[in-house]
Structure 1
Amino acid sequence: MDALNDILRSFRGEYNKTPVKIQVAHLLLVGSFPFNSFLAGFLSCVAFCVLTVCLRMQIDPSNADFKGMSPERAFADYVLCNGLLHLVIWNFMG
C-alpha cells in the first residue's frame, strides 16, 4: 500500500509541473495569441469609433475648422484610414 501511495504522490507532483511546462512551451512557440486577439478586437472597436467621430466632425457644416474640405474628401480619408486600421488589426491578430 505504501508503494501505491508513493506512486500516486509522485504522479501528482509530476502532473502539477507539466501544465506549467506546456504553457511555457506554447507561449514560446505560438505567442500569446488569445490575448493579442482580445486586444486587437477591443482596440479596433475603439479606433473605429474615433474614426467615425472624426468623419462626423469633418462633414458637419457648422464646424468652422473643416470649411475647405469637401464631404467626398472626408469620406475618402475615412475609407482609407479604416482600410489601413483593419489591415493592421488583421495582421496583429495573426
Structure 2
Amino acid sequence: MANKTNQQNNLGTVLQQLQRSYWENTPQRIKLIDAYLVYTVVQGVIQFVYCTLVSNYPYNAFLAGFGCAVASFIFAAVLRMRVNPENKAEYGHQSVERAFAEFVVCNLALHFLVTNYIG
C-alpha cells in the first residue's frame, strides 16, 4: 500500500516538474501552436462522438469535417516542428515566416477541398 502511494507521489512530482518546465521554457509562439493542436484534437473527438452517438446521416459531411480536423492537426504539428528553436539544425535554413505562409496556404487548399467534398 505504501509503495503505491509512493509511486503516485513520484508521478505527481514528475507531472508538476513537466508542467513547470513547459510554462517556463517554452516560447509563447510554441504555446499558441500547442493550444491550436489541442483545439483540433477536441474538435475531431467531438465530431467522432457526435457521429457515433447521434447520427452520421450526411456521412460525407462527417468525413470532410473529421478529415479536416486530422489534416489541420498534421499541418500544425509540422508548423510546430519547423518553428521550434530546438530544431534550428534541421530547419534553420528556412524562415519562420515561410513556415507560417506554407501552413496558411495548405490550410486554404484543405478547406477549399473540404468545401467541394461536402457539396
Partner in structure 1 of residue 96 of structure 2: 71
The percent of aligned pairs where both chains have the same amino acid is 45
CA distance in 2 between counterparts of 1:88 and 1:57 reads 25
Partner in structure 2 of residue 37 of structure 1: 61
Q: Which amino acid aligns with 1:42?
A: F
CA distance in 1 between counterparts of 2:86 and 2:58 reads 44
Between 1 and 2, higher relative CO (CA 8 Å, sep ≥ 6) is seen in: 1
Report 1:1-94 matches (<5 A): 34-63=58-87, 64-94=89-119
Superposed CA deviations along residues 51-71 of structure 1, whole A, max 9, x for unmatched, are 000001011111122110100
> Bigger radius of gyration, 1 or 2?
1
Normalising by structure 2, report the TM-score: 0.50
RMSD: 1.1
Alignment partner of 2:93: what SS?
coil
CA distance in 2 between counterparts of 1:41 and 1:93 reads 9
Name the count of aligned residue pairs. Answer: 62
CA distance in 2 between counterparts of 1:59 and 1:49 reads 15
CA distance in 1 between counterparts of 2:115 and 2:82 reads 27
Off by >2 Å, runs of 4+ in structure 1: none
Q: Where in structure 2 are there 5+ consecutive unaligned residues?
A: 1-56
